[in-house]
Amino acid sequence: MTKQINMDQQLVYRFGGGWADGSQEMKNLLGGKGANLAEMAGHPELQLPVPPGFTITTDTCNAYYEAGRHFPAKLEDEVMAALERIEELTGKTYGNVNTPLLLSVRSGARQSMPGMMDTVLNLGLNDETVQGLIAQTNDPRFAYDAYRRLIMMYADVVMEKAAGIPPVQGKGIRKLLDEHLESIKKARGFQLDTELTEADLRQIVIDFKAIVKREIGEPFPEDPMAQLWGGIGAVFDSWNGKRAKEYRRIEGLPDEWGTAVNVQAMVFGNMGKDCATGVAFTRNPGTGEHKFYGEFLFNAQGEDVVAGIRTPQPINEASKNSQSENLQTLEEVMPEIYAQLNNYQQQLEAHYKDMQDLEFTIEKGKLYILQTRTGKRNGTAAVRMAAEMYQEGMIDGPTALMRVNPNQLTELLLPRLDAMAERAATPIAKGLPAGPGGAMGKAVFSSEKAVELRQAGENVILVREETSPEDVDGMYHAAAVLTAKGGMTSHAALVTRGWGKCCIVGCNGLDINEAEGYFTTPDGTKVKEGDYISLNGATGKVYLGSMPVVDVDLADNEAYQTLMGLVDETKVLGVRANAESPADAANALRFGAEGVGLFRTEHMFYGKGSEKPLYLLRKMILSANRKERRAALKELFGYIKSDIKKTLAVMNGKPATIRLLDPPLHEFVPHDRQRLEELAEELAVDVSILEKRVLALHENNPMLGHRGVRLGISYPEITETQVRAILEAAAELNMEGRQALPEIMIPVTCSRNELQDQEKIVKCIYKEVCASLGVDEIPYLFGTMIETPRAALRSGPMAEIAQFFSFGTNDLTQMSFGFSRDDIGGFLPIYLEKGILVNDPFQVLDRRGVGELVRLAVERGRAQRPGLKTGICGEHGGEPQSVAFCHRIGLDYVSCSPFRVPIARLAAAQAAIQHPRQ
């Protein structure tokens, strides 16, 4: 990061009038918005009508912070020169009483952070220039409205927030001014702002200034230059505002980027009926369909569209939805302007070769393009656009693959409401389908409550009038978001789209009483906080009660199939699934898994149908001696074998790694007195004896205790039983004409000798099973988890015996950091907040520490045994960054939950594009 400014460094880049000294390649320096404004204005293929302006670089922002929030000395000259150029192009002069130029000041980071930073519009207005504006526009009402908007924003953004003073009266100046506005409307008996007269607005300007002076202790600055510098400083300051920092943390964006500032001549969509403002996408961002899509409002400022206060009109037929189907389209009302806009959007998509999200304003019949950027899209749309653009020949295969964020696939795989259940139910409300998938959860009305209940393990749906950046945390924790107001481009829609989260917006009839904790729907249903509701994010329908949520079928999704076809041609890394049942295994195959990477034998003792095996396991665990233990294992054998056999049968021809019993035995014994008494009765022993045995199993640090291979070494009969079950199951399947490929995996090892001990047992049982079933051979592999740091270090000797390594990166992370995953709640949030860790290492593999152990183990293992098979089966196996790392260090495969297999596959393909293996 350049933090010091050189004397010859350009701090300000200009654009407009068919020219610019910046371009889209300069995103890091000019921010996304600034770079695109320069590109649109200056690129010979485009030269679109962009209001002239200039961009102050991100380097300037960093220098500003480095200097303790002071502007670099040479900034002023460059800003003044750039301002003069705007004045030349517009024929207006900033601060001039007769031809006043009005400016906007907006943030613009390298990557869009919607609504997270501040903006000030209408800069340049004061008691004198407002007269000039009236003279220019002949619209005093408009001029005073613009003036009162400036005061409101400026007081909020510059005078209160950027100055860092506490919110006045505890609620902030903006709310205070809003309340005053509302009180005037109430006094006049008005509903809408637009009903306010020129006189009202003139008075409001006077009132606002008085309130600002009284509450903040400083007057609103009349000096236009003071306003401009105040605005620029406020944008810089908002880079480190609470909301922006929170957003960067969630999105994993670095603090060092800084923001650019875009200063631009104002154009107005709210100067009358021949004015409008809108937002459009070159393709449908919700479905990916190749149709121009957008919404606009007549006589409005851009923020009105995004804020969702009025229902916007569709720009064309393709943009109509259930709410707007009866509204007039821009195409109908202003056909020439629409044709021009449509022409521009085609130019833009062809130029950028990606879907563009653009903002436009029509000022007195003249179209301006205010912004273009690569449009956010949900997963469904991302996949469709990538596949179709590839098929259209606009982009090549690798580009198509890189266009989809692997995590976005979640959406396509997202559970949906059960169709049968949905058909049987009547929706209580209907809104706009802003986010994909289906969801159910308890209704909550505040961000705080959403976080609280979620952390208590509840599924929640956040229900809000409309959402604002303050709600981000709650939205993040909620399973879905439901808003009463807002359109498809509202805050709620944008944010949830980015996350691939179920969302319904603009659910008009919803009457939310946050204070008393309920909402009512148009049909009179009353839903209290904590009541379950279900949402269909694809149709916008809201149901009362908790509805079953089911998986989707990808077979019909042509775009998905096209994309995954490219994935399979491209990727090198194998992708397996963690699966412990025939259903899981079938699911895994459906999602494209190439094998089972982790079958946990202990799984059969959990959940439905586990009563009898669990009872036998407990009997085994609480045995007094080896003889009793052998007897219990003998009874258990059939269950274990049948469990394994069923999954091996499904995987027919594909390998399945079966991990021998791992958890400390203590996990399986009942801990409450009653269950223990029952067990004692069943086992016909005194409960006090059982209590003693349970107590003897207790450990201070069970994660580092008597588990994994340590069980197999202490109780060889446990290994024997499991190995016999695996080999018999495999041999029988082979005899039945199927192909079983079991891989026997020893957990929690730390030395070669442990493997040698267990290998002896396996070889011995192998001979016995071959003999007893009369077969010559049973194909199998013998290998180990690498999940202790020592195992990673000693992987050379271990590979003398192990034919494969599977990295258990969960445990490896626990032991490398010394973090108990169950106990990190006490400090990890602070670590993330302070930036001591960038990611939760249990979510994203720590490449520098844990990753080094993995890399080193692969290297040493392969040096010992060149054909050593390596994979990972920790939860990182389905996390794209971690998958990319696994590709880079040359693992053979990753294994993850079936549901994440497509994500891992795409991530693997992207890794292969970015890091081709030799």
Interface with a second copy (CB under 8 A)? 699-706, 710, 713-714, 748, 750-751, 753-754, 757, 787-790, 793-794, 811, 814-820, 822-823, 826-827, 830-831, 834-837, 846, 848-850, 852-853
Residue 814 or 895 with smaller CB distance to a second copy: 814
Cβ–Cβ < 8 Å for 479, 537: no
Residue 80 or 836 with smaller CB distance to a second copy: 836
Residue 444 parent element (H or E): strand 438-444
Any binding-site annotation on 808? yes
List, as one string, the DSSP characters of 244-307: HHHHHHHHT--GGG-EEEEEEE---S-SSTT-EEEEEESS-TTT--SS-EEEEEES--HHHHHH
Q: What is the dihedral angle through the alpha carbons of 712, 717, 723, 725, rounded to the nearest 10 degrees?
A: -140
Closest distance between a second copy and the C-beta of residue 751, in Å? 7
Looking at residue 541, its amino acid is K
Residue 411 or 846 with smaller CB distance to a second copy: 846
Taking the CB of residue 339, how many other CB atoms lie within 10 A of it? 11
Residue 366: C-alpha distances to residues 48, 50, 202, 271 (Å) = 12, 11, 28, 12
Closest distance between a second copy and the C-beta of residue 854, in Å? 11
Residue 612 or 698 with smaller CB distance to a second copy: 698
* Residue 725 in tokens: 């079950």
Q: Measured between alpha carbons, how far apart are the two ends of the chain, in Å?
A: 33
Closest distance between a second copy and the C-beta of residue 632, in Å? 19
Any binding-site annotation on 513? no
Residue 57 or 816 with smaller CB distance to a second copy: 816
Q: What is the dihedral angle through the alpha carbons of 41, 47, 50, 51, rounded to the nearest 10 degrees?
A: 80
Cβ–Cβ < 8 Å for 482, 531: no
Residues recognised as catalytic: 491, 873
Any binding-site annotation on 809? yes
Any binding-site annotation on 787? yes
Phi first, then psi, for residue 743 (nearest 5°) are -120, 115
Residues 6+ apart with CB under 8 A from 677: 687
Closest distance between a second copy and the C-beta of residue 878, in Å? 23
* Residue 851 in tokens: 């990753």
Closest distance between a second copy and the C-beta of residue 811, in Å? 7
> Of how many residues is the chain composed?
918
Any binding-site annotation on 699? no
Q: Residue by residue, what is the 3-state secondary structure of 351-381? A: HHCCCEEEEEEEECCEEEEEEEEECCCCHHH
Cβ–Cβ < 8 Å for 286, 269: no
Phi first, then psi, for residue 892 (nearest 5°) are -80, -35
Residue 558 or 833 with smaller CB distance to a second copy: 833
Closest distance between a second copy and the C-beta of residue 868, in Å? 19
Closest distance between a second copy and the C-beta of residue 765, in Å? 18
Whole-angstrom distance, CA of residue 895 vs CA of residue 874 = 7
Closest distance between a second copy and the C-beta of residue 767, in Å? 19
Whole-angstrom distance, CA of residue 822 vs CA of residue 807 = 20
* Residue 633 in tokens: 């294992």
Closest distance between a second copy and the C-beta of residue 165, in Å? 23
Any binding-site annotation on 39? no
Residue 725 or 750 with smaller CB distance to a second copy: 750
Burial of 192 (0-12, 13-18, 19+ CB in 10 A): exposed
Cβ–Cβ < 8 Å for 379, 386: no
Q: Is 200 helix (H, G, I), strand (E, B) or coil?
A: helix
Looking at residue 908, its amino acid is A
Looking at residue 419, its amino acid is A
Residue 103 or 802 with smaller CB distance to a second copy: 802
Residues 6+ apart with CB under 8 A from 398: 570, 913
Closest distance between a second copy and the C-beta of residue 637, in Å? 24
Burial of 777 (0-12, 13-18, 19+ CB in 10 A): exposed
Residue 33 or 666 with smaller CB distance to a second copy: 666
Residue 273 or 848 with smaller CB distance to a second copy: 848
- Sequence-distant contacts of 168-172: CB under 8 A, at least 24 apart: 168/215, 168/216, 169/215
Any binding-site annotation on 811? yes
Phi first, then psi, for residue 417 (nearest 5°) are -65, 140
Give the residue numbers of the binding site.
600, 659, 787, 808-811
Binding residues for substrate: 600, 659, 787, 808-811
Q: Which residues are annotated as a binding site for Mg(2+)?
A: 787, 811
